[in-house]
Structure 1
């Protein structure tokens, strides 16, 4: 629930709910007749409840906000609210590469006992939550009531988060999704996290607003780069130009939390293995990170179309390339 103008003005002077009630009453703002009933019904169910501004469970970091949420409705493991968190956000209309990157980053970070926080949107958010739950913990911050499944396609994921992780919202149960509520959600995501990683974002993406909130709050901000031909990463490149960390591996992010993964050593071994494969499989050296057709690869390597097709199948089985619309492209062996 966002505070009324009068309550916001005096928020820092309030030390108890008696103060809040008095000031809220003086503001003349009416409370909906069913509001209290909805709150009470929500609290009556197991594994869910309400954390208020003066509760010991309320994250101190949220009090930094000029408009802190007075109430946080939750379902799941509320102790995660005060865990070390990294936010991963990005485009709803993400590419396969973007989703794979978000999923991989989230899994590697979560494996180090860092909670992954995101907004449960389609695309990057979904991939980040899924990767995190496979390896550790995740928090979803909603832009609607905690009992609303939005987007509907993520109903199963939201239920999984409620069972294994945590779902929170500042909006009263029953509140539908409205466009003006998502910026309010984003400020909470930014505030809870030590840092924010943007994976795939266009220049006008809402993810950049999350990054802006993070900068204003003194949080770390990083962005994953992509192809200069890909408009889906223009926002990431802009952030990097503005001084955001260029995220090239998981340890770039873990350094914000004074942690390190064994991924670097694994990557060195992977590079050594790839060099051996390249020596014995010249076709792989000609496959790029953008899809190339079998005909184009045949022309480039001098091999027959049949030989190229057969070798690509073997490379795909070994996990070196992946088939996409337009042909084959190289992928990192993770």
Structure 2
């Protein structure tokens, strides 16, 4: 039976033009990632207040001068987006993918080009080998086509091989491409025509990277978390032991998504990763029916996201906390090269959580803190 949706009616409140500009400036400033953005809004109350506070917070964390994105830079990128036929969607706005809101360190802003209504349909991600076999690509296309006909949107990364097969099979029913670079820098170049077919028709491209950003190797794992976070489940077809697809599968499992794996021959290195996933508990599938049956009970359930930064950005005062003279030293001493939970730091130091979060924010903006999946933090090596 075809699905008529799954995410429900779009909910959220649109950002004002002034807020959108401030959000873009904040996320484009030095040392401000998705998790840091959220902490800044929670502490300062709004993006504009956070921009004013950045230099002081960085200095208190032991950092040097911090580059804050200017109004002119943000306006220039907004103009680039408009000329390219794209726009920026904030995490609390109606067109933001609902399930993506719930992941750890969800992007505060997404640049989107294409049909935004696709974000409100239930989605399934497909990932796998760039060097796909003919059989693997054909099987992927068949499954993608069938889940598309059942009302699902297909999510993938526009890479050659399995990704491209999934996108091509759903040009009519709808697919979402998560990009590792800027929306104007699709990769690989050989899939430019496919990219244009998607964004001109029943498709959507999304990216958290700036316009003009050429994807680097370290940008693809970030992209993979978008692929894993948008859908209810993730299907892996032909993945080698050391494959980016396995990173996507780990992130999907971390986000509470169902991980599906297509078994393959033990003699084919392209199936070593998928077979290992099955050994480790992934759901073995032999067709689209297995996917649809597993996801049916999940679609339409309300998703309980963490506190939306949009709800905090109301130009009011944020959380108030002021570390004492020795508090920063105690928190830095509690940190090391091994990632730990923030709650463990709170228990170890016996300091108020608001104080711990503020000091971690200062260290982050000073470039001295690393943030890891599942909210773990560590001190950068030079500080240990």
Structure 2 length-normalised TM: 0.62
Structure 2 residue aligned with 1:161: 198
Structure-2 separation of matches of 1:253 and 1:122: 23
1:7–1:229 Cα change, 3 Å: same
Aligned to 1:42: 80
Q: Of 16, 21, 26, which aligns to 2:51?
A: 21
Residues 107 and 10 (structure 1), Cα distance of their counterparts in 2 relative to 1, 3 Å cut: same
- Identify the residue that residue 252 of structure 2 maps to in structure 1: 214
Uncovered stretches (5+) of structure 1, i.e. residues with no partner: 260-334
Shift of 1:48: 1.7
Indicate how the Cα distance of structure 1 residues 154 and 24 shifts in structure 2: closer, same or farther if over 3 A, else same. Answer: farther
- Deviations along 1:87-113, whole A, 9 cap, x unmatched? 000011111111111111111111111
Deviation at 1:49, TM superposition (A): 0.6
Name the CA distance, whole Å, in 1 between partners of 2:57 and 2:197.
Answer: 40
1:223 maps to 261
Match of 1:148 in 2: 185
Is residue 60 of structure 2 the alignment partner of residue 30 of structure 1?
Answer: no
Q: Whose helix proportion is higher, 1 or 2?
A: 1
What value does the CA root-mean-square deviation take over the aligned residues?
Answer: 2.3
CA deviation digits over 1:227-283, x for unaligned, max 9? 121111000000000111111111111123319xxxxxxxxxxxxxxxxxxxxxxxx
Measure how far apart 1:54 and its partner are. 3.5
Bigger radius of gyration among the two: 1
**In structure 2, do the counterparts of structure 1 residues 18 and 146 end up closer, same or farther at CA, with 3 Å as the change threshold?**
same
Q: Of residues 128, 131, 135 in structure 2, which corresponds to 1:90?
A: 128
Highest RCO, 1 vs 2 (Cα 8 Å, sep ≥ 6): 2
CA distance in 2, matches of 1:13, 1:32: 19
2:12 aligned partner: none
Q: Give 2:90's aligned residue.
A: 52
Distance of 2:175 and 2:272 partners within structure 1: 27
Kindly provide the CA deviation profile for residues 61-112 of structure 1, in whole angstroms up to 9, marking residues without a partner as x. 3333332212101110112122200000001111111111111111111111
Cα distance in 2 between the residues matched to 1:81 and 1:144: 20
My pick for the range that moved more, 22-31 or 39-48, is 22-31
| CA distance in structure 2 between the aligned counterparts of 1:107 and 1:123, rounded to whole angstroms | 16
| Greater CA drift, 23-32 or 73-82 | 23-32
Aligned partners of 2:114, 2:57: CA distance in 1, in Å?
34
Contact 2:237-2:274 at 8 Å conserved across structures = yes
CA contact (8 A) 2:37 2:108 kept: no
- CA separation in 1, counterparts of 2:253 and 2:158? 22
Helix, strand or coil for the counterpart of 2:79?
Answer: helix
CA distance in 2, matches of 1:14, 1:209: 34
Q: Contact conserved, 1:118 with 1:189, CA < 8 A, in 2?
A: yes
Q: CA 1:225 to 1:12, structure 2 compared with 1: closer, same or farther past 3 Å?
A: farther
Q: How many residues align?
A: 258
User: Retained in 1: the 8 A contact 2:81–2:211?
Assistant: no
User: Is residue 201 from structure 1 mapped to residue 239 from structure 2 by the alignment?
Assistant: yes
**For 1:254-273, what aligned pairs fall within 5 Å after superposition?**
254-258=292-296
In the alignment, is the contact (CA less than 8 A) between 2:155 and 2:175 conserved in 1?
A: yes
Aligned match of 2:102 in 64, 68, 73? 64
- Which residue of structure 1 aligns with residue 282 of structure 2? 244
The question of whether the paired residues in 2 share the 8 Å contact of 1:195 and 1:256 is answered with: no
8 A Cα contact 2:179 2:186, kept in partner: no
| Residues in 2 aligned to 1:188 and 1:11: alpha-carbon distance in whole angstroms | 22
Alignment partner of 1:172: what SS?
coil
Name 2:176's counterpart in structure 1.
139
Is residue 7–residue 27 contact of structure 1 (8 Å, CA) maintained in 2?
no
1:7 is the counterpart of 2:29: no
Measure, in 2, the Cα distance between the counterparts of 1:26 and 1:255.
53
Partners of 1:47 and 1:234 lie apart in 2 by: 41
Deviations 1:288-326 (A, max 9, x none): xxxxxxxxxxxxxxxxxxxxxxxxxxxxxxxxxxxxxxx
User: 1:130–1:49: structure 2 CA closer, same or farther, 3 Å change rule?
Assistant: same
User: What is the TM-score normalised by the length of structure 1?
Assistant: 0.71
Residue of structure 2 equivalent to 1:75: 113
Q: Pick from 103, 107, 117 the counterpart of residue 155 of structure 2.
A: 117
